[in-house]
Amino acid sequence: MDFFGRERELARIEREIKSDGQSAILVYGRRRVGKSELIKQSLSTTSCRSIYYECKETSEQNNLESLSALVSEVFDLPPLGFGNLEALLDHLFPLSVKEPLTLVLDEYPYLRKTVKGLDSILQSLLDRHRDSSHLTLILCGSFVEVMKSLLERENPLYGRINLTIDLKPMDYYDAARFYPDFSAEDKVRLYSVFGGIPYYTRLINPKLSVRENIIELISEPGARLENEISMYLNSEISKMVNANEVFGALADGCSKYRDILSQSHVSSGPTMVDVLDRLIRMELVQKQAPINDPINKKKSSYRIIDGLSLFYYRYVFRYASQRTFLDPQVFYDRYISQDFETNYAPHAFEEVCRQFLIRKNRVGELPELFDDIGRYWYDDPANKTNGEFDVVTHDPHGYVFYEAKFRGTPVTQEMIDEEIEQVRSTGLDCYAYGFFSRSGFASDVETREQLRLFDIGELYR
């Protein structure tokens, strides 16, 4: 199986495994983000002996027997018998005195739930064998809140973790490495649906079109990813009705608190706040504040940042009844195709452009490196309008405005002038303007010092 991206995380884990002495690593992140593959890839690049155990949501005895059998296999030992998990773990640490050993406990929250006081047991073992052991302990899990709690001051493991990796979805560039043969604009379309989750991107069939992949993987009844979102939500949210209501409102385009509350029909404000907070912690929704007024709560907005969740609630969940009675091809053409091209994909293109700017900024390849990027809130009393510009950066010289055009015709000079005039009319004082275009730029576009022009192909070079 090919492994793409994650170079920084790989290097950090490998460095910790190869370091002298004992070490403890924490790896966490949402489901399907690639935690297990990252760890396995790290282990494959080192020569030290390793034990990779995927904890089961079952009894301590069952886990004890499974892990004991694995230890026997790795060390070529006869069957081992231990009274409890603590005894088994205590047996492992001395085995790493003469040679390095890596022990991975994947889905650690399952084992933690079964074995009472497991955090304290590990803390005691780490402290007891600190000066003699060469064991690297890797704890991995998808229940982010549980994993983060291991880092809190009140937890027995506080201060014992040498490296913490909060694994996030891949950005647009690394995600596209899973489907290199598609055109640049199709890469944007695929990213808009499948995001940066490796489990999803691996399923994309290079022999099918974007449309065919979407139908086969998500929009037709019985599709591979049809129940993916509901399964993830069910694992962490008790009342799916409220989550469905909030997601539905967000997918419809509601972003302000009052609009979401009104559209969602959630019973009360506190209930909706609780649902939103939970979705934010699950990294499906993000609360955003404008870069020019970050502390004003009234101007904060909420958006679905997981592509598959957004697509599912915008099309599949919303038109569930119609989908039942229509051929998958007809359903796509009638309820998805047009909106996907005119609204859904263009919004995703804005996010891709934002990530492109962040990538360029990190490696110092922009004319002026920015210190902030986000949405800019404007209030134009003269024209009695207000709103947001989606991609604006701020650096020591001021603001730079960017516009992303995901349209089938080249951007013309007239379009550029109109956009700049609109920005100026709101009072936003920019010293430069940037334009991204799916279809390039017309021959009449002038080269100016204050203009930064990007063709879509540049985003994937």
**pLDDT the model gives residue 72:** 94
Which phi and psi angles does 22 have, rounded to 5°?
-85, 150
The rounded distance, in Å, linking the Cα atoms of 435 and 411 is 9
Which residues touch 402 (CB under 8 Å, ≥6 apart)? 353, 357, 391, 392, 393, 433, 434, 435, 436, 452
pLDDT tens-place string over residues 378-397: 877 666 677 889 999 999 99
Q: Which structure tokens are listed for 372?
A: 């902030």
Taking a C-beta distance cutoff of 8 angstroms, is the pair 142, 148 a contact? Answer: no
pLDDT tens-place string over residues 420-456: 998 998 888 899 999 999 999 999 998 888 999 999 9
Confirm whether pTM is higher than 0.85. yes
**pLDDT the model gives residue 4:** 87
* Domains present along the chain, CATH in parentheses: 7-166 (3.40.50.300), 215-335 (1.10.10.10), 347-460 (3.40.1350.10)
The rounded distance, in Å, linking the Cα atoms of 157 and 146 is 13
pLDDT tens-place string over residues 246-281: 999 999 999 999 999 999 888 788 889 999 999 999
Residues 15-34: what's their mean pLDDT? Answer: 94
The rounded distance, in Å, linking the Cα atoms of 354 and 391 is 7
Residue pointed to by tokens 């969602």 = 264
**pLDDT the model gives residue 363:** 96
